[in-house]
Chain A
């Protein structure tokens, strides 16, 4: 839980408006399983903060170790003691569900740089909650649509047996038109997939879609490659993103995965981001880093036009999303979740490093289905 207090020397500020300083509290996962995601979000966020060099913005970062009660405790501390104006940083849906409802009820802003549980997009949406990444179903819907377009007729789909896993497969099925060869829910944290791979082989499937975040996905891919089953694989970006590809190895080559961002997206903001991130941290940025970067820039853009103490004005400024997103066009839907393109990427090898290349656009200006239930 390193505290990074950015007390920058007072210089000539470009922002003419002399608003009250903004304090951001970042709660993210820096230790334990999945720490690499939180580290990327933090690094992306801090890069944007550093580049902006705005003395009115300060950030405190703490580690939640992926434990919901600890995340709640840190949120309480940041609100009650640090008196932050904005909270952000949470990687996981279950931690977001623990922290977000009570934080926004206390009048704080929450900007999600990763998790997008359906409840917060629909029935439980809140005027102070903004999602800068995606609604949880989005990337899966994109792959469902891609599978239909590609002409797969019998995909086998699998995900861990927990809410995000069920959302994933529901999302895939929503836009997939056809029959499934099979549908399996695996144990959360499972590392041996021999039984599932055998079933896939026996099912006569023509393709595979899986959502197995973190170590589960690494394990599945390695075991799949050795099994001798040779079906095309699809997944959301999570199992094939920059941070994880090295561990998956060449097994991932050729896999199609969906993402709202990639490092080769052709816009100036993105090219500058990829370059500066690589030189700052000595590694290629991931999806999560791009989301952290966008979140910080969204806050900075709102600070230009509104005072954070004037909640209504600041909310309106956030809602305009007047910043250059590294994913290109970006705006908020009525439920304050993104409207954005989602792309299909392919894993390739580039100068000896595994990475992704955009091959097509799966969904254009896509938002989510839960917005209809949101009364904002």
Chain B
């Protein structure tokens, strides 16, 4: 094992974390402001990827597809919020879980009805298709660097939005006291729809970005959703900062676990047993991480508004 490889894997972990951050930022925002558990967040991820694949397929431009993913996912989010989610804010978590689980079924089947069961084609734009050399040490995918870049931009953007703008002020007010801001005369319905659409747009863009390096198919949102939940629970539900830290932690632990655990096990077991034990352990590493953190800090690393 060389230092270069270690460094490359670390970069891979960070990139994976950034993508998880895009997914979990919306989820944690919605929970923090509205107190809602949204299992249908993964559906918006899928919607973004499909919109991007469709538009990129027609126009031939990945970038137009990316814009489309943002718009379509935001619109789908607003639609869901107005049609269904709005009625769930005052309900307990159980109703929210069930209703949003129902939304997963509805959106998945409807998408299959429209697009069929075969995976769609979506590729990275030509400009980012070639690897670039990092410090002359290794060739690294420029597209993955681009994802890290987008993650950082979004993190900064969200930070500015929440700390510096009027909308952010209302979001913060909404997090700390929901009745209060209604009393202040803020149109809470519009605010909630906006926040939900914002979260949806982030999920949509994550779906489009990841769709280009993974497969675009019905059901692609499920596994990512579970990971996003792990992230926000580790970070502290409702906290964007927590989601950022949690995402990086999960990304790095998962990637390094896949890479290091089978290797470390070879010191303890025969090669075949090591592959088995290492493989089994690395596939549950992040869940062990999550359970461990919750045992020490039952409300996650950063105290969020939703706790």
Contacts and interface: CB of A to CB of B under 8 A. Distances in A.
Contact of A195 (B9, B109, B130): B9
A249 B214 CA distance: 12
A33 B219 contact: yes
Nearest to A191: B214
A31 B115 CA distance: 12
A27 interface: no
Interface in B87-145: 109, 112, 117-121, 123-124, 128-131, 138-144
B175 interface: no
B279 A247 contact: no
B262 interface: yes
B231 to A, nearest CB: 15
Contacts of B259: 195, 198-199
A96 B62 CA distance: 41
B120 A223 contact: no
Q: Which of B109, B141, B212 has the most CB of A within 10 A?
A: B141
Given A183-B275, A202-B4, A247-B121, A228 B214 contact: no
A161 interface: yes
A342 B213 CA distance: 31
Q: Which of B1, B215, B220, B280 has the most CB of A within 10 A?
A: B215
B121 A228 contact: no
A214 B215 contact: yes
Contact of A161 (B123, B139, B279): B279
Given A196-B258, A249-B123, A36 B275 contact: no
B193 interface: no
A349 interface: no
A227 interface: yes
A218 B130 contact: no
A126 B190 CA distance: 65
Given A215-B220, A219-B213, A185 B118 contact: no
Interface string A182-200: 0111111101101110110
* Interface residues of chain A: helix, strand, loop or mixed (majority): helix
Nearest to B117: A35
A77 to B, nearest CB: 22
Contacts of A196: 258
Contact of A194 (B15, B120, B128): B15
A223 B275 CA distance: 24
Q: Which of A35, A188, A226, A228 has the most CB of B within 10 A?
A: A226
Classify chain B: how many residues form its interface, as a range.
35 or more
Given A195-B255, A215-B214, A247 B117 contact: no
A149 interface: no
A188 B283 CA distance: 9
Contact of B16 (A32, A194, A247): A194
Contacts of B214: 191-192, 215, 218-219, 222-223
Interface string B277-293: 00110110000000000
Q: Which of B214, B220, B282, B283 has the most CB of A within 10 A?
A: B214
B283 A187 contact: yes
Contacts of B120: 247
A358 to B, nearest CB: 24
Contacts of A199: 5, 259
Interface in B1-41: 1-2, 4-5, 8-9, 12-13, 15-16
Interface string A76-104: 00000000000000000000000000000
Given A226-B213, A228-B130, A215 B283 contact: no
Contacts of B275: 183, 185
A344 interface: no
Contacts of B255: 192, 194-195
Contacts of A192: 12, 16, 213-214, 255
B213 A244 contact: no
A215 B211 CA distance: 11
B217 interface: yes
Given A31-B112, A161-B283, A187-B282, A39 B117 contact: yes
A73 interface: no
B83 interface: no
B223 A191 contact: yes
B139 A228 contact: yes
A198 B8 contact: yes
A246 interface: yes
B284 to A, nearest CB: 9
Nearest to A223: B213
B216 interface: yes
A184 B262 contact: yes
Q: Which of B5, B13, B109, B216 has the most CB of A within 10 A?
A: B5
B279 A185 contact: yes
A150 to B, nearest CB: 25
Nearest to A199: B259
For the complex of A and B, the 10 pairs showing the least CB-CB separation, nearest first, are A228-B131, A215-B215, A35-B117, A228-B139, A194-B12, A218-B215, A247-B119, A219-B214, A161-B279, A226-B141
12 contacts: A30-B117, A33-B217, A36-B117, A183-B275, A191-B220, A195-B12, A199-B5, A219-B213, A219-B215, A227-B131, A227-B141, A228-B130
Given A161-B283, A226-B130, A228-B139, 7 more contacts: A185-B279, A192-B255, A218-B214, A222-B124, A223-B213, A228-B130, A247-B119
